[in-house]
Amino acid sequence: MVGTTTIRFGGMFSSGDEAYSGSRKEDNPSSLVDIEWDRQVWTLDLYHQASARIGFGLTFPYMEQDVDNNTTGAEEHDAGITDISGYLLFAPWEEEGEHVDEFLSPHNISFLVGLSLPTGNEQNGNAPALHFGQLGSGSIDARVGVLYNAPVGDGFRAFAGMTLLMDGGPDTARFRNGVLTDMRIGASYQPAPWASVFVTFNFIVREKNLSAGSALSESGGTWWFVEIGGSITPHGGWFVDVSVAIPIYRNVDGTQPVTDEIITAGAGYRF
């Protein structure tokens, strides 16, 4: 709705104790990847729908993580602000006061453009050789994407999207993240005005990371998730949401740590 502002505070919780080589579990991983880890990312999200065509948002994240190396016995704890990001959503075919209830319509298309600032410390994080979970990228990164969200009928909607995350340049250690492609397709259902549920299939492809311009063998790959979640609006503009993303396929380059289920939960107010 035009003029609406949304404030949300939430967390994303992930952990893992396995390493994969290709698409199979590695029973005897090297000391570099033989780790158990857990991570919490807390975010304050702000979004404003300025007009029928334009909306923009900001995300302020804070991360904590613990990493234990099963081979060496080393333990590490990292915490701090990560890279602050902002984005703009542009729906060029939307018109003020116009409501289009069609599945196939350009009104359902929007474009995303975003940037993240290097506010996190890229030197903090486990296993510098892997750059696993560092707090920042050390550069201004760009995100671009295209989204489609359309009514199907009787409370159902279908949606799909693809975004690219591109590292803006090497950090102080001459490390650079590979391009990440995130593709999603899913559907939502609103059984009541105050409740909705959704399911999403998420396909992630990451190119190899670079160190001093050379590709790192223990990086890059493909990950598939299915995410199930929902939200309720118990009173006025208040809302609560929760979801779980379940890994269903991984095919990594080299040998890498992998994540278990990822839980996301939050609460906010819309006015």
- The Cα–Cα gap between 266 and 258 comes to 24
Task: Tell me what pLDDT residue 98 has.
Answer: 73
Q: What percent of the chain has pLDDT over 70?
A: 97
In 102-236, beta strands by DSSP E = 109-116, 141-153, 156-166, 175-176, 180-192, 195-206, 210-211, 214-215, 221-235
For residue 128, what pLDDT band results from cuts at 50, 70 and 90?
Answer: very low
pLDDT digits (tens, 9 = 90+) for 140-171: 999 999 999 999 999 999 999 999 999 999 98
What mean pLDDT do residues 120-127 have?
A: 75
Secondary structure (3-state) at 58: strand
From the list 214, 143, 206, 132, the residue with the least C-alpha distance to 174 is 214
pLDDT digits (tens, 9 = 90+) for 37-58: 999 999 999 999 999 999 999 9
Q: What percent of the chain has pLDDT over 90?
A: 84
Secondary structure (3-state) at 107: helix
Q: In 10 A of CB 43, how many CB atoms?
A: 18
User: Tokens at residue 111, please?
Assistant: 């474009």
Q: Residue 107 phi/psi, 5° resolution? A: -60, -20
Q: In 10 A of CB 135, how many CB atoms?
A: 23
Task: Tell me what pLDDT residue 131 has.
Answer: 60
Task: Tell me what pLDDT residue 123 has.
Answer: 79
pLDDT digits (tens, 9 = 90+) for 3-27: 999 999 999 999 999 999 999 999 9
Chain mean pLDDT for the chain: 94
Task: Tell me what pLDDT residue 122 has.
Answer: 84
pLDDT digits (tens, 9 = 90+) for 55-110: 999 999 999 999 999 999 989 899 999 999 999 999 999 988 777 789 999 999 99
For residue 124, pLDDT beyond 90? no
Task: Tell me what pLDDT residue 197 has.
Answer: 98
In this prediction the pTM is: 0.93
Contact status, residue 64 vs residue 79, Cβ threshold 8 Å: yes
Residue 103 DSSP code = S
For residue 129, pLDDT beyond 60? no
Task: Tell me what pLDDT residue 172 has.
Answer: 87
Contact status, residue 88 vs residue 55, Cβ threshold 8 Å: yes
Task: Tell me what pLDDT residue 7 has.
Answer: 98
> Which domains does the chain possess?
5-270 (2.40.128.130)
